Amino acid sequence: MTAKSPFIYRFEPGSTANAPPLLLLHGTGGDENDLLQLGAMISPGSPLLSPRGRVLENGMPRFFRRLAEGVFDEEDVRHRALELGDFVQDARERYGIGSPLAVGYSNGANIAAALLLMRPRVLSGAILLRAMVPLTDPPEADLAGKPVLMLSGRHDPIVPDDNAAALAAMLSAAGAKVDHRVLPAGHQLSQADIALARTWVAETKHREMVP
């Protein structure tokens, strides 16, 4: 962390040319270290930018407040998404990296989705793991062509199937290229999530490099 940033965070420089920068966004109770290994597995050699959520719920870090499980404080979601967007822009200048691909899990996936809708230019795309609709009345966003991978769990007790489908539809309607897959899993991540995300990143990077 630097004195300039309101976030506690980790930054790991990249080691592979053309590997996309990743913005790693943890779930409730996680921190800036939680997803570093996941990031390295799904995109080896990528620069990794991993902030800690600034909201505490019973001592557990989150990226925004909620009123109950699955019920979000949407005013806070908007404020925190803009705050996170400013952090990413500052980090890009500080470390000389391009627009990152967000990799968010649970609460981190929800703030990533909100960031896509509130500040479309900040991210190059997103991997949303167990995400829900973050805003019931989002602003109009232009996500034309931005790649988004959504991985939901068929047996997830937290994220209803129709809610995940609604988020996929919302992002698609804004122009994103959404690949939404429902896995035979719960809310926790599985090896299938890692394998699918890694393949998707490689294929997305290849498509962007081919003229």
What is the rounded CA–CA span in Å between residue 75 and residue 135? 9
Residue-wise burial string across 180-193, b where 16 or more C-beta atoms lie within 10 A, e elsewhere? bebbebebebeeeb
Q: What angle do CA 171, 152, 194 make, to 5 degrees?
A: 105
DSSP annotation of 175: T
DSSP annotation of 19: P
Catalytic sites, residue numbers: 106, 156, 187
